[in-house]
Amino acid sequence: MDFVLSKLNLSVGTRAESAQASVAYELPPAAVREAIVNAVAHRDYTSRGSVQVMLFADRLEVWNPGTLPPALTLAQLREPHGSIPANPLLAEPLYLAKYIERMGTGTGDMIRLCRKAGLPEPEFAIRDGFLITLRRPARVVRLAAGEVTGEVEAQGA
C-alpha cells in the first residue's frame, strides 16, 4: 500500500500545521487500499496466480485470480449488495484488523471516494480474474504524455 501511494503523490506540503508534512495524492488512498484489500480477500487461493497491482500513465489496475459469486453481477457492485467472501477464514481477520469495515460496502466506498475527488468512477471487470481500474486525473495523464505546463520554472543559465 505504501509503495503504491508513494508513486501516486502529487505534492508534499509543509510542516506548518503538524510535525508531518501533508501529502496530496492523485487517487484517494482509501480507494486504493480498498481495491488492494478486496483483491486479497476475494482472490481464488486455489489458483497459482497472484494479486497484481499495476500502475500505468493513465490508471491503476488491481487484478486478482478470482471471480464474482454466481449470485452477484458487475452491475450489482455499483449498488448496495450482500457479500459472499471467497475466503471467509481470511475475511474475518481482515475485519478484526480493521481492513474491512462491513461486508459488501467496499465497491460503493470506492465509487463514492472517486466521485468526491472529482475522478471517474472505478471500473469493475472480469478478465481472466477480477479487475478494478482506478483512473488517474487527466492532468497527470497529460504530464505523463510530455505536455509542458507553466508550473515548472526555468533553470538559471
pTM for the model:
0.79
Q: Tens digit of pLDDT for each residue in 51-102? A: 999 999 999 999 999 888 888 888 888 888 777 777 888 888 888 888 877 6
Instruction: Please check whether residue 139 lies inside any domain of the structure.
Output: yes
Pairwise CA distance, residues 28 & 41, whole Å? 20
Pairwise CA distance, residues 151 & 155, whole Å? 13
Instruction: Please check whether residue 60 lies inside any domain of the structure.
Output: yes
Instruction: Please check whether residue 151 lies inside any domain of the structure.
Output: no
Looking at residue 21, its pLDDT comes to 66
Residue 130 is part of a domain; what is its CATH number? Answer: 3.30.565.60
Pairwise CA distance, residues 8 & 58, whole Å? 11
Instruction: Please check whether residue 155 lies inside any domain of the structure.
Output: no
Looking at residue 51, its pLDDT comes to 94
Domain span holding position 109: 2-13+26-144
C-alpha cell at 5: 501511494
Pairwise CA distance, residues 135 & 155, whole Å? 32
Looking at residue 7, its pLDDT comes to 84
Phi, psi of 148 (to 5 degrees): -90, 135
Q: Tens digit of pLDDT for each residue in 14-46? A: 556 666 667 788 899 999 999 999 898 888 888
Q: Establish how many alpha carbons lie within 13 A of residue 27's alpha carbon, considering only the half-sphere containing its beta carbon.
A: 30
78 three-state secondary structure: helix
Number of independent structural domains in the chain: 1
- pLDDT: which is higher, 124 or 20: 124
Angle between helices 88-96 and 29-42 (to 10 degrees): 150
Instruction: Please check whether residue 79 lies inside any domain of the structure.
Output: yes
Q: Judge whether 37 and 95 are in contact, CB under 8 Å.
A: no
Instruction: Please check whether residue 74 lies inside any domain of the structure.
Output: yes
Q: Which of 105, 89, 137, 126 is nearest to 38 (CA)?
A: 105
Instruction: Please check whether residue 118 lies inside any domain of the structure.
Output: yes
Instruction: Please check whether residue 54 lies inside any domain of the structure.
Output: yes
